[in-house]
Structure formats: structure tokens, C-alpha cells
Structure 1
Amino acid sequence: MGGRSSFLRVALLTFSLGFCFVSCCVGFVEGGYSNATKRKRVPVRHQLSLDFYANTCPHVDQLVASVTARRFRDSPASGAATIRLFFHDCFVEVKPKNLCCAAHCSRILSSLAKVRRVCWMQGCDASILIAPTTGGKVVVERDVEDNKNLAPEAFEIVEMAKALVESKCPGMVTCADILAMAARDFVRLAGGPNYGVKKGRKDSRVSMAGKVRGNLPRANSTVDELIRLFAAKGLRTEDLVALSGAHTIGFSHCDQFVSRLYDFRGTGEPDPSIDLRLLKALRMSCPRSGGNNDVVAPFDVQTPFSFDHMYYGNLEAKMGLLATDQALFLDPRTRSLVQGLGRDKVRFFDAFAAGMEKMGSIRVKKGKTGEIRKVCSKHLAA
């Protein structure tokens, strides 16, 4: 009898592991099954709403705005830093993979929902906000090189806004939604469009450094690479050019563009597409080697603190800071879009607001697939 019981336990365990693995292979996602063809399509958008917190925290927009307005007065540069933080959060959008699921199946057999929860980490879910832990075994998104120069004040602003919201509406508003609102506020405060932020995102239960690679634009990305990356997020080439307009404010460290100044693509010469006056000025701040790693230069040399459409005019004048910025004017697929947005600020504002809404709604977590953190840098379980 004991042997038979052992046999049944082994059989059940084998069946559970097999079912878990097969479920991942066929794409068992929230709400039902999905075949391989569907997984290759553009990312799914869930329904968000402007009045999501109408009953639970009706003044949440004003609460967040009170924090962002105060910080913008004290430090205007914090605005661009927070907008960038939002981009880095949203662009890490990972689809489920068999290996991801298989790695967790041996430990998670009690609920298939938990397997889905572990294997799905996507979109604007505040996963970027999780702080590294001393001696921790899990390396989080903030540990990745591409994220290490994200400004500390951006994280602080979100935490301050979250603390205020928690004091008025405890356990109701997610960090993911607060980050989206804060980014919107800073766009408006810098002179940009005042667009509505749809809400209803849940915070991710995981933050994994290994999921960042290949999901963020790089300073030297080609237009081909950018178009493919944005298309993988369900964003069009028009969205790529409009959202790149966020570089109308903010600064970049020398290491992101120094190769353009001295050794463009291994030629030993500066980038021929850069204005000679800009080249001279940038070389004074950013020497070939031995420079100060903290030195930064404005993306928009004309109006670095004003959210306007001057960014596009700079590209036409060969004054784009990053190679990936200037490439948008050089490539025939995007040049006309750059020129159109550079001529019409209203058109740029409309396109940017539409792009932010689309980016902010890709594969967001809802319901039981996420959490509502009390402190944005820590998971509830912590």
C-alpha cells in the first residue's frame, strides 16, 4: 500500500510539472489560452480609464501634482529625469518564455496563476522602482548598466508622491500609476501638453535585471533598430519620432556621445553629421579620455528647460546630441516626420500625448496579476 501511495505521489508530481511546462509552451496567459501566432502580434493593451480612482481616491491627480510642482520649482532638471524613468519602466516588456516557466515550475505547483505571475513581467509596472538589496540574490532592473545613471531624484519624487497618496488613500493607488502621472505633470510644467493619464495599472511582483537587455533604445541605435524595437511594443514609426521629442528637455552624460566627437563608428574621425560649432563646444566639456564622468550636456542646446518643438529644428541644423537623435533626420523614413513636427508645435504636442498614452498602456498588469505596493521601492512581500 505504501509503495502504491509513493507511486501516486510521483505520478501526480510528474503530471503537475508536465502540465505547468506545457501550459507555458502554448502560452497560457491571463484569461485563457493563446497560440504562438498570437504571441508574435503586437503587445496587448488592457482597458485603463481616466476615472479609475474616482471612488477610491478622487483627488489623486491633485495630490501627485502638488509634489511635482514643488520639486519642479526647486529643481527643473528633475522633470526630464522622471520622464526618462517612465520610459525605462515601460520599455522593459517581456513576453513569457518556456525557459522562464520551466525554471519556476519545480518550486511553484500550488497554483498555475502563480506561474503566470512569475513568467509575465511587462510594460509600465513600476518594476524599475524596486531598489537593490544588500547581499540580495536577485539582481533588479536598477542594477543594469543602462539604468545606473537614472537620476536618484526621479525615484525620490515618486516615493514622495506615493507617501502623500498613501496618507490620504491607503492601499488604493499603485506606484505604476503614480509614475505615469508624475511624468505627465513634468511635461506640462516644462511647457508641454497637458494630457490625461488613464489609470488602472498594477505594480509588478518581480524586477529582474536579465529582462532589460535589448528592451531599451541605446545612444547609438540605428533607425532600423529603433523601428524594430518600437514595433515590438506596438508603436509606429510616427510614435518613435514623436516620443523621441522628449529629448527637447534634459541632459546626457558624455559617455553617451563621446565617440561621435572623436571616433565615430571606428573611423578615427568625428561624426560628419554634427555641426562644427557644437562639436567644438562638446569637445571642451568632454575630452577623449580622462574627463569628469558627471559632466552632462543638454539634448536641446537652444531651450534645454522648455518642452517645445525646438528638438526637431536642432536635428535639421545638425545639432542633435546623440547619434540616434541625429539619425532620425538623416534617414529618409523619418526625415519628413522630423520636419513636420519641427514646423508645427501643436502637431508635436498632439503626437507626443498620443504616443505617451499608447506606450503607457502596453501589457499593463491588472487584477490579481500584480500588487499595490505601500513603498514603491519594495515589494509587498518584503
Structure 2
Amino acid sequence: MVGPIQAQLQMNFYANTCPNAEKIVQDFVSNHISNAPSLAAALIRMHFHDCFVRGCDGSVLINSTSGNAERDATPNLTVRGFGFIDAIKAVLEAQCPGIVSCADIIALASRDAIVFTGGPNWNVPTGRRDGRISNASEALANIPPPTSNFTNLQTLFANQGLDLKDLVLLSGAHTIGVSHCSSFTNRLYNFTGRGDQDPALDSEYAANLKSRKCPSLNDNKTIVEMDPGSRKTFDLSYYQLVLKRRGLFQSDSALTTNPTTLSNINRILTGSVESFYSEFAKSMEKMGRINVKTGSAGVVRRQCSVANS
């Protein structure tokens, strides 16, 4: 199946129009990431949520006057980093007005943030244009929720031209960052609507989460590490936890319910971190090309949060 991935981007797209563009992004990230290292996970999540809705076009950044833009949808209510992207955009606008797209800023900043916190590097070809349309309903329909089973994950990734190998590799980003209790408490307290626990979740881990982290079904404030004890390190421990039935989300545990994704996890775990990094890099570059708008297909928004700027 040929998905909507397009390759009309190029490395150093701004070489002539804004030669310092990538360095400006890189310097901004390196100057600020040490104060907020958790932004690395936040930005890669933003990039993922942007690309899965109308392609990587910066539409996740748009503010709605009526509360129905992508960022108003449930999956995006906990997305962070909007102010960070706006701040980078302001620096770029001062240097090269109207040249560098918001979509490219997300793609570059998320890569740089991962690199500066010790994670993998990957190529970010540029030249994405921004979209002007942002609908909450589309975010809800296209972003894979943490409650996804395998079939749902496979479908939502295939819709974007991503295969099962990409699914396993991109899920590996759960090796860093945190989640809110509300993304998984149904597994602890009400899995099938009968006040029960998800049998696919390790019972000892579940008991710990209930007593120490998320004492009720309605807790939506508390944050929990997705890769406990290793949430700041981009490593293979996420996959080890998934095999021990200690992945936080239903979507993590779903990766073990299909022979292809399960064998991919085992293959990653028998290899080195370096080989995981190089495979992760390929899937990230592929994700960054989803349905991109180039040339006259999109615009360069002057303010990332304003559709018609």
C-alpha cells in the first residue's frame, strides 16, 4: 500500500533564503533545554500529533477563537511546548521575515531537543509549508489514543503510510517523558466497564500505580513516568518493560498481541542501542514527511498560533 508520504522536501532548504535558520533553532534549543529537559518528550509528541492530522503542517499550533481547533481536542489538551515554538518563531521572524514555516520549526526543534538530551539524531529535510485549517474532530479521529488495541494502532498508522515496524519504533519514544493518570486509569479501575483491572497489566505494577500514583479513576492531574527509573534516558528499557507487561498504556501492551510487532520488539532488544537509534531515525524521518505541503500547496504563517497570519 502506498501511503500519503511524500518526498518533496530537501536538506538545508533555507540555505539561500535564511542560511542560519537551522542554527537559530539549534542554538535556541541548546540554550533552553537544560532548564526544561522534559520538553524533549513534549516536542516529539507535538511533532507526532501534528503529522497525524493533515500531515506535518503546523496545524496543531493554531489557536481557535471558538474552541474547536486541533489543540482543543482531548489528545492535545496535554501537549506542551506551544510557547517554546512561538519563541523560536519570533527569533526567526526577526532574522528572516516570512521565510521559515512553523511546521519546519516543530520538526527541527523536536529533533534538536532529543539530541541535546542524549537521544538519537536523524535527518530533517525542510521545505514544509504551513496549513491554515485545524479541526478538533480530525485530531480526535486520527491521533492514536493510549487506549488503542492493536487493530486500531495498525489502521491509524497505515492511514499515514506507516507500517508495523514504524509503529514499534515510534512507540519507543515512550522511553522518555511522562503521562497523566487519566490516560491509563481505566486499565486500573474500570477496564471493561465493570470496575475491573486490565489482565494484560502486571498485577504488582498495577497495585503500585493504584497505591502510589493514581488513587482514583478520576485523577487527571498526577503525572507518571512512562519508563520508570529511566525516563530521561533514550534507551531500550521501554521495550523491556512492555515485555514484562509493565507498559503504561493499553497501546503499549497491544504491541505484544501481534506476532509481527512482538518479534520486532524482541529483535530490537537483541540489538544495540546504536542500531535502535539508527532505525528510530529512519522512522522519524518517514513520519516527518507525512502529507507535507510544499511550494504553493501551503503558506508560511507569520504567527504559528494564528491561522491567517
Fold match, TM over 0.5?
yes
Cα deviation, residue 267, structure 1: 4.9
User: SS state of the match for residue 329, structure 1?
Assistant: coil
In the other structure, the counterpart of 1:204 is 131
Instruction: Deviation per CA, 1:239-279: give whole Å up to 9, x if none.
Output: 00000111111111111100111222335332222223321
In the other structure, the counterpart of 1:123 is 55
**TM-score, structure 1 normalization:** 0.77
Residue 202 (structure 2) aligned to one of 268, 272, 275: 275
Name the % identity: 41
**TM-score, structure 2 normalization:** 0.94
8 Å contact from structure 2 (residues 9, 126) kept in 1: yes
Equivalent residue runs for 1:40-79 within 5 Å: 41-79=2-40
Cα deviation, residue 218, structure 1: 0.8
In 2, the alpha carbon distance for the partners of 1:324 and 1:196 equals 27
In 2, the alpha carbon distance for the partners of 1:84 and 1:327 equals 19
| Worse-matched range after superposition: 246-255 or 344-353 | 344-353
In the other structure, the counterpart of 2:92 is 165
Residue 349 (structure 1) aligned to one of 253, 273, 277: 277
In 1, the alpha carbon distance for the partners of 2:282 and 2:138 equals 26
In the other structure, the counterpart of 1:325 is 252
In the other structure, the counterpart of 1:233 is 160
Cα deviation, residue 167, structure 1: 1.6
Which is richer in helix? 1
In the other structure, the counterpart of 2:180 is 253
In the other structure, the counterpart of 1:144 is 73
Equivalent residue runs for 1:20-39 within 5 Å: none
In 1, the alpha carbon distance for the partners of 2:200 and 2:137 equals 35
Residue 182 (structure 1) aligned to one of 106, 109, 117: 109
Cα deviation, residue 71, structure 1: 2.5
Cα deviation, residue 178, structure 1: 0.5
> Using a 3 Å threshold, how does the CA distance of structure 1 residues 325 and 375 change in structure 2: closer, same or farther?
same
Cα deviation, residue 74, structure 1: 0.6
User: SS state of the match for residue 224, structure 2?
Assistant: strand
In the other structure, the counterpart of 2:238 is 311
Equivalent residue runs for 1:89-104 within 5 Å: 89-92=50-53
- Which one has a bigger Cα radius of gyration? 1
User: Alpha carbon RMSD of aligned pairs, Å?
Assistant: 1.7
Instruction: Deviation per CA, 1:94-150: give whole Å up to 9, x if none.
Output: xxxxxxxxxxxxxxxxxxxxxxxxxxxx200001101122xx4x7211121221121
User: SS state of the match for residue 214, structure 1?
Assistant: helix
> Which protein, 1 or 2, shows the higher relative CO under an 8 Å CA cutoff with sep ≥ 6?
2
